Amino acid sequence: MSWALIPLTEEQREIQRTARDFARAEIAPHSDAWDRAEAYDVGIVSKLAELGFLGMLIPEEFDGLGLDTRTYVVALEEIAAVDASVAVLMSVHNSLPTQMILRYGNAAQRERFLKPMARGELLGAFALSEPDAGSDAASLRTQATRDGDHWVLNGTKAWVTSGNHAGVILAMARTDSSADRRGPRGIGTFIVTPDLPGFHVGKKEAKLGLRASPTVQLHFENLRVPAENLLGDHHMGFVYAMQSLDNGRLGIAAQALGIARSALEHATRYAAERRQFNRPIKEFQAIQFKLADMATRVTSSRALLYSAAAAKDRGEPITQFSSMSKLLASETAMWVTTQAVQIFGGYGYVKDYPVERLFRDAKVTELYEGTSEIQRIVIARELYAQS
């Protein structure tokens, strides 16, 4: 079923087919089991890497594919349509740690980390939030203190996707002092690896959705990070993180879009098969209206996402459009999956049918990498900045 208004190139269609075939062959047979086990098979990481899906936005000189953003979100949607848990590891890895190192890292950091990350030898993670610093991320408390040729980090990071599997974690910590707090301009970004002394994986969250994707706390107890692992300016890490979230929000929009599209496809097929009152329920106007509204929202979300991705590839500012895209796609995912459950009726509420998992997976897209409320604040702020 195709809902694209903006045409794809032949290369993009081929990558789309590759991602779709891979997801159906290598992920779909295991998704329900991974959801029940609350863990994916880590072997899926190397399989994604073999196809280049962990280095899509990394230049060829660092062993990546050097593709444009629209091609990346096209592939990500296909993965998410089958398993949103696998899609989020792909999204975070491609959108945040690799892009932050590429944009703000020095030559030695790019050489050391980007090549193994592109090859899937090192999975990337992003550690900004803390137990008491979510939407107000600038209030984070993890402290970094310079000690000779190291920085010593103490604190706890929360909601870290793939934090227990990652080989490279981009962690934000305060570099200002308690006597001279500088707010967002007193935070640095550090490239943390799990072999460093003082690094500990903490609580793994038991979640409503994306159950196969591990979300953990990370504890830094006198974590000694070599000074050469500081990314860029030691007071600009929060700014780097916020700018990089423009990329991350496009990834989450693609994930949400994949969830919504999958729910629409399942509901459309079910409505043609399910019979009540001696005819398929697709013949009832109540069901037709639901499907029509679902298809309209999915198509609108894709059009905005593709446009925002194209703007990014042209080098244009996308803060407003990435927030718009994430907002529309995530709320579409939640609304469409709710309608899909309604179309399935009682069967939509049980785990034997796919829309139950899609409904659970959809909710978090309205929460992470900025809640829907935060996206509206960003959009409104950008509106006033332009006036």
Catalytic residues: 369
Structure tokens at 13: 């269609």
Cα–Cα dist 78/253, whole Å: 13
Nearest to 305 by CA among 67, 92, 5: 5
Cα–Cα dist 107/296, whole Å: 46
Which residues in the chain belong to E strands, given as ranges? 124-127, 143-147, 150-161, 168-174, 187-192, 199-204, 215-226, 230-231, 275-276, 279-280
- CA 58 from centre of chain: 17
Which residues share a beta bridge with 145? Answer: 152
Cα–Cα dist 43/36, whole Å: 18
Tell me the torsion sign for CA atoms 352, 358, 363, 368: positive
Which residues share a beta bridge with 170? Answer: 126, 191
**DSSP for residue 365:** G
Cα–Cα dist 93/54, whole Å: 7
**If you write DSSP's letter for every residue of 340-353 in order, what string do you get?**
HHHHHGGGGGSTTS
